[in-house]
Amino acid sequence: MPQLRLDTPVQFLKGIGEKRAEAFARLGVHTTQDLLLHLPHRYIDASSVTPLAEARVGDDVACVGTVTSKGVLPTRKGLRVFHAVLRDASGVLECAWPGQAFLDRTIQVGQLLLVAGPVRFYHGRQMAPREMVILGEDGESPGRILPVYPATEGLSHKQIRTIIDAHLDSLIPLVPDILPDELKARFALPSLAEAVRLVHRPTSLTEAEQGRRRLAIDELLDLQLMLARARHIARHGQRGTPFVLHRTLTTKLRESLPWTLTPDQKQSVREIFDDMTKADRMHRLLMGDVGTGKTVVALFAMLLAVENGYQAALMAPTELLAEQHYRTLATLLAPLGIHPEMLVGRLGASDKKAARARLASGETQLVVGTHALVQEGVAFSKLGLVVIDEQHRFGVEQRSALMLKGEAPDVLLLTATPIPRSLALTRYGDLDMSVLKVRPPGRGTIRTAVRTPAQRAKVFDFMHQTVQGGGQVYIVLPVIEESERADLRAAQTMATSLAAQWPDVVVGLVHGRIKPPEREQVMRDFRDGTVGVLVATTVIEVGIDVANATVMVIEHPERFGLAQLHQLRGRVGRGTKESHCILLTSSDGVPDRLRAFAATDDGFQIAELDLEERSHGDLLGARQSGGVDFRIARFPDDTDLLSEARALARAILDTDPGLERRENKPLRERAVARYPKAEVLFRVG
Ligand code: ADP
Ligand code: MG
């Protein structure tokens, strides 16, 4: 065998042949280093097992006992259930594994089993084990913390445990420690080698967690170094324009507004002005739920550019949104004598040509548009600020295409998708952020209700009455056609049946298979009030403002994520009237998550709930967190580590922007190894 290194393929390890190497590859484990970082997704605390007689109904416990009898019984809706009775000195306990008849081949009378799971009442006390380990083999005995590893077909968690345990002692000495001592001291973090030992062979759950946190911060630091580097390049690579606060237009706007800015808005404007008056380019994200008043904040930024003799551009993802912004800005700017320009694909050729000429000559100071703004032939005379609404709807190319229309313009990105701080740090770690949390006063409230099938008829009556009274209603369904899922109500069927049922109502339909121009037309008709009921899938625009639409009914809300439900709910409550969001469940029981959703209208709180829900959803350990996969870090639990990792990454780059110092080189190498595509970041600037 070649000398063991951290990049040695696992196949060279004893106990791993070709077959197992393939199985490991499916788990993302290729090298010995990957193997060391293949962490248990849970532990069984066999050091404190409950005597069988003391396992009570309602408890979640771990027990050890000898199998005295077993068998498969066909019960419960045709499910075949494997049963085993365990005995220890204290007594007996029955265990049942619904749908796992195959265990009959694995588990034999006389074996010593460790089981862990909830105890319930089913013809007596019965455990439904979540976890089961056959003890007494491979030296496994009660009295230690057993790691349980993410497994795959052809490679059980038990086999993985045996393999890792066998190689741990020879691999640990190879693990280098590259984290600065200062950070280790601050967080009481063990060395990397020690951390690896702790996660695989802890003597307590606390130790296991200590080890995991050390590995997590390393993982987070790698990403934060990349993001901090990207930020460094964006801000320092090209100098921006140090705008001067002339307070001509900006102050005029403040004086002419029909209301005062909310404290959040004031704070955001301050942060933006701070950035814009510096020589470094602004690269800022303004985050706030729908209705928190982002547009006017963006307008202040645009006017600062304009009062410095520069042009400002606002790009929105759809024509409808662009038109909406255009109207808003035109109204707010009228008292200032400024006329914004609109550039969208729908304009006639001669209008477009004229608009382009005004942009090129500098006559237009402020323009709103769609991606039509970035097309060839569009030239600005002096573009100083780029604002991008619903920035995630644009590709990087489109965003940078607009930036390239100017000479290093400042950039302000807007998003109506609040995300928890932890996610923001991983997704937008390279951006500075301003947040609008509180909605301005004076808008109608949104009441959220959960209704069960028995109340369907009443809900539909309410919708009908609303439309008859001159209001408008949305109804959202999870699928387009019945054929996709026979058990779900579908948008097309709903539109047809409502139209038949309510001849006095104009029913509109939008979904993903209707072409965008047609879809926009239906949305326009809805905005203009010609359509009374809009039946839709989740494609309805984020940010669309139809003040007269006050009811949002969502069918099969169980099928939607909480953040998605919140986005949908944001379509109503845009006017001054009270609005209703009604979740129409498909069964009688109302899940706690929907209750929690109905109880709050705080987008950030919902985002936290949503994140928790999703992080618990995936047992494989490869958690998807906003486009970045973390194998070790968990959110929201590790948010504190993330903030520290970000602060640390920025501090390191402040003194050594290219990570070129000898002590920082290992950091750079490891980060680049983890994010190969980001290598380019260290080749420029
Ligand atoms: P967002 O783009 O964040 O969804 P908007 O910018 O569309 O929100 O603002 C929502 C509504 O609130 C608009 O009608 C706007 O005129 C109004 N608005 C904004 N700021 C204030 C404020 N400080 N006080 C009262 N109303 C405001
Ligand atoms: Mg908006």
Least confident of 138-152, 388-402, 410-424, 517-531: 138-152
pLDDT band at 576 (very low <50, low <70, confident <90, very high): confident
Cα of 440 vs centre of ligand 1, distance in Å, is 7
Please tell me the number of the ligand nearest to residue 257's CA: 1
443 Cα: distance to centroid of ligand 1 (angstroms): 9
Indicate which residue's Cα is closest to atom 13 of ligand 1: 293
* Residue 289 pLDDT exceeds 50: yes
pLDDT greater at residue 87 or residue 625: 87
pLDDT of residue 617: 45
pLDDT at 621 over 50: no
Distance 297 CA to ligand 1 centre (A): 9
Ligand 1 center from residue 544 Cα (angstroms)? 13
CA–centroid distance, 576 to ligand 1, in Å, is: 12
pLDDT for 397 beyond 80 = no
- The answer to whether the CB of 283 is under 6 A from ligand 1 is no
Instruction: Inform me whether the pLDDT recorded for 29 exceeds 90.
Output: yes
Asked whether 235 lines ligand 1 (CB < 6 A), one says: no
390: tokens are: 């619903």
Portion of the chain with pLDDT greater than 90, in percent: 53
Residue nearest (by alpha carbon) to ligand 1 atom 12: 293
CA of 259 to the centre of ligand 1 (A): 10
More confident residue, 49 or 120: 120
The residue type found at 424 is A
Residue whose pair of structure tokens reads 């038109």 in the numeric block: 323
Any atom of ligand 1 within 6 Å of the Cβ of 418: no
Instruction: Using pLDDT thresholds of 50, 70 and 90, give the confidence band for residue 396.
Output: low
Q: Ligand 1 atom 10: the closest Cα is on which residue?
A: 291
Range scoring the smallest mean pLDDT among 284-298, 320-334, 347-361, 669-683: 669-683
In this structure, how many other beta carbons lie within 10 angstroms of the beta carbon of residue 93? 25
Mean pLDDT on 15-22: 92
Taking the centre of ligand 2 as the mean of its atom positions, its distance from the CA of residue 329, in whole angstroms, is: 12
Residue 276 or 428, more confident: 276
Q: Which residue lies with its CA nearest to atom 17 of ligand 1?
A: 293
Q: Tell me if 325 CB under 6 Å of ligand 1.
A: no
Is the distance from the beta carbon of residue 574 to the nearest atom of ligand 1 less than 6 Å?
no
For ligand 1, say whether the CB of 291 is within 6 Å of any of its atoms: yes
Residue 561: predicted pLDDT: 87
Query: Do 170 and 36 touch, CB atoms closer than 8 A?
Result: no
Give residue 76's pLDDT.
59
Residue 628 confidence (pLDDT) above 60: no
User: pLDDT at position 137, please?
Assistant: 55
Helix, strand, coil percentages, rounded to 5, for the chain: 45, 20, 35
Mean of pLDDT over the chain: 88
Give residue 523's pLDDT band: very low, low, confident or very high (50, 70, 90).
Answer: very high
pLDDT at 461: 97
Q: If you take atom 26 of ligand 1, which residue's CA is the nearest one?
A: 440
Query: How many whole angstroms separate alpha carbon 148 and alpha carbon 132?
Result: 10
DSSP letters of 220-271?
HHHHHHHHHHHHHHHHHSSB--------SHHHHHHHH-SSPPPHHHHHHHHH
574 CA distance to ligand 1 centroid (A)? 9
The protein residue with its alpha carbon nearest to ligand 1, atom 25, reads 440
State the distance from the centre of ligand 2 to the C-alpha of 594, rounded, in angstroms. Answer: 26
Identify the pLDDT of residue 139: 47
Ligand nearest the Cα atom of residue 391: 2
Does position 625 have pLDDT exceeding 60, yes or no?
A: no
What pLDDT shows up at residue 629? 64
Give 352 Cα–ligand 1 centroid separation in angstroms: 30
Measured CA angle at 650 (ends 672, 648), to 5 deg:
90
| pLDDT over 70, % of the chain | 93
Interval 603-615: pLDDT, tens? 988 988 887 777 6
Q: Which atom of ligand 1 is nearest to the CA of 570?
A: 4
Atom of ligand 1 nearest to the CA of 261: 23
Q: Which atom of ligand 1 is nearest to the CA of 294?
A: 3
Worst-scoring range by mean pLDDT, 46-55, 396-405, 552-561?
396-405
Winning range, highest mean pLDDT, from 464-473, 554-563, 603-612:
464-473
Q: Is 290 in the pocket of ligand 1 (CB under 6 A)?
A: yes
311-315 β-sheet, strand order: 341-343, 366-369, 311-315, 383-388, 410-415, 283-288, 432-436
292 lines ligand 1 (CB under 6 A): yes
Helix (H, G, I), strand (E, B) or coil at 139: coil
Reply yes or no on whether the pLDDT at 15 is more than 60. Answer: yes
Closest ligand 1 atom to residue 265 Cα is 23
Q: Where residue 41 falls among pLDDT bands split at 50, 70, 90?
A: confident
Q: Work out the pLDDT band at 522, boundaries 50, 70, 90.
A: very high
- Does residue 253 line the site of ligand 1, with CB under 6 A? no
Cα distance between residue 520 and residue 499, in whole Å: 20
Query: Would the CB of 33 count as within 6 Å of ligand 1?
Result: no
Q: Write b or e for each residue in 470-489: b if 16 or more Cβ atoms lie within 10 A of its Cβ, otherwise e.
A: ebbbbbbbbbbeeeeeeeeb
Q: What is the mean pLDDT of residues 313-342?
A: 95
Confidence bin at 622 (pLDDT 50/70/90): very low
CB 46 within 8 A of CB 145: yes
pLDDT tens per residue, range 211-267: 999 999 888 898 888 888 877 776 666 678 899 999 999 999 999 999 999 999 999
438 ligand 1 Cβ < 6 A: no
Q: At residue 316, does pLDDT exceed 60?
A: yes
In whole angstroms, give the CA distance from residue 616 to residue 637: 12
**Helix, strand or coil for residue 596?**
helix
Greatest mean pLDDT among 108-112, 305-309, 584-588 lies in: 305-309
Give the pLDDT of residue 595: 93
**Is the pLDDT at 685 greater than 50, yes or no?**
no
Nearest bound ligand to the CA of residue 288: 1
